[in-house]
A = this chain, B = another copy of it.
């Protein structure tokens, strides 16, 4: 596959701090360099090494002495000490959100493949900040998955559109403005606030995800909850779906009319799309842990950042005394706008893994003689049933 730094850098820039006045002003340039695995702009099949130098190291937010005496509240300083028995001067070590830079870099490579070969599109956007929601529950639509406006967004949203709504990345003029003001209020008060990010995966082949323990939603949940500061995950109708009767929640099957995007490998090699799709999509594109070909969508919750400039009372490492901490400088009052490319990257890595597993199975099946009474394997791709 053709691959250069130019394929990777755009998502690095979307993740980078300092994109606007409401995010942290630290300016990490985050230039990525490919160290190995490509030659003349083409991947060699061998591992790809990437390096991003950290040009703007963070000074100790609380001053050295403070960090030595106090574990920061709701940070990982204390748990890292409990786990490893050694206190690194950087506190919670690899729990820093800086670690996500590698995830985004790796994710872009997976994304390029998924787009090129299958036309798969992965787009995340901010769905809520604090109590400001893009699709607040209403009597008519208790969850977004019931709301036609949400489903329309699921079917059409793309990154270009999302980035028109900077700095918050919530794709609605009015709501994004409301969120911007809302976050500014928290910044003003030296406080912070959380939010949720929704991610949509379109043109996914059917058949991805492994039964029982490695269902597609289980792998996605694992990936999302591994991102720092996350508190929850829901897919399809999610928590709201628990409150809808089964008679409404069930997704009836209908004949699919989709055709693959014409400029992708799927079209090039003639992979057919599944014959069926669902009329509603409370399933979020996954049934029994396996993708059904409809758009997959899920939502991830991010807590308010723990580093705030307000004074907080807490205990020393030895528990012997109490003290007051307040972070110096300005900090990110809300992480969700920058979390958008991180969510996209982790989603791409999960899908790439699931696709490789299903590809191996499909390729294995393709070389067998045809069986009577079973669905013939599709000649050219992963989606293979229903023909």
B-contact bits for A295-320, CB 8 A (1 contact / 0 none): 00000011111101010111101111
Q: Are B232 and A128 in contact (CB under 8 A)?
A: no
Residue A135 at the chain B interface, CB threshold 8 Å = no
Q: Are A45 and B249 in contact (CB under 8 A)?
A: no
Contact of A225 among B196, B233, B290 (CB under 8 A): B233
Q: Could you say which residues of chain B place their CB within 8 Å of the CB of A225?
A: 215, 217-218, 220-222, 233, 235
A267 to chain B minimum Cβ distance, whole angstroms, is 10
Residue A266 at the chain B interface, CB threshold 8 Å = yes
Q: What's the Cα separation between A371 and B45 when bound, in Å?
A: 14
| Residues of chain A in range 70-96 having any CB-CB distance to chain B below 8 Å | 70-71, 73-76, 78-89, 92-95
Given contacts A86-B371, A191-B245, A231-B239, 5 further A-B contacts (CB under 8 A): A42-B86, A231-B235, A255-B320, A256-B319, A360-B360
Residue of B whose beta carbon sits closest to that of A285? B79
Q: Are B253 and A367 in contact (CB under 8 A)?
A: no
Q: Which of A56-64, A156-164, A206-214 contacts B (4 or more CB under 8 A)?
A: A206-214
A84 to chain B minimum Cβ distance, whole angstroms, is 3
Q: What's the Cα separation between A1 and B84 when bound, in Å?
A: 11
Q: Are A82 and B242 in contact (CB under 8 A)?
A: no
Residue A291 at the chain B interface, CB threshold 8 Å = yes
Q: Are A42 and B219 in contact (CB under 8 A)?
A: no
Interface size class of A (residues with CB under 8 A): 35 or more
Residue of B whose beta carbon sits closest to that of A284? B231
Residue A130 at the chain B interface, CB threshold 8 Å = yes
Q: Are A304 and B88 in contact (CB under 8 A)?
A: no
Q: Are B93 and A44 in contact (CB under 8 A)?
A: yes
Residue A147 at the chain B interface, CB threshold 8 Å = no
Q: Are A249 and B211 in contact (CB under 8 A)?
A: no
Contact of A274 among B82, B287, B358, B365 (CB under 8 A): B82
Can you list 7 A-B pairs, Cβ within 8 angstroms, ordered by A? A42-B371, A71-B276, A82-B206, A194-B241, A245-B304, A275-B319, A359-B363
Known: A44-B84, A73-B253, A305-B246. A356 touches B364 (CB 8 A): yes
Q: Could you say which residues of chain B place their CB within 8 Å of the CB of A373?
A: 40, 42
Residue A113 at the chain B interface, CB threshold 8 Å = yes
Residue A192 at the chain B interface, CB threshold 8 Å = yes
A175 to chain B minimum Cβ distance, whole angstroms, is 15
Contact of A113 among B83, B241, B364 (CB under 8 A): B364
Contact of A39 among B42, B70, B89, B304 (CB under 8 A): B89
Residue A375 at the chain B interface, CB threshold 8 Å = yes
Residue A131 at the chain B interface, CB threshold 8 Å = yes
Q: Could you say which residues of chain B place their CB within 8 Å of the CB of A87?
A: 374-375
Q: Are A193 and B245 in contact (CB under 8 A)?
A: yes
A45 to chain B minimum Cβ distance, whole angstroms, is 3
Q: Which of A11-19, A23-31, A166-174, A376-384 contacts B (4 or more CB under 8 A)?
A: A376-384
A184 to chain B minimum Cβ distance, whole angstroms, is 14
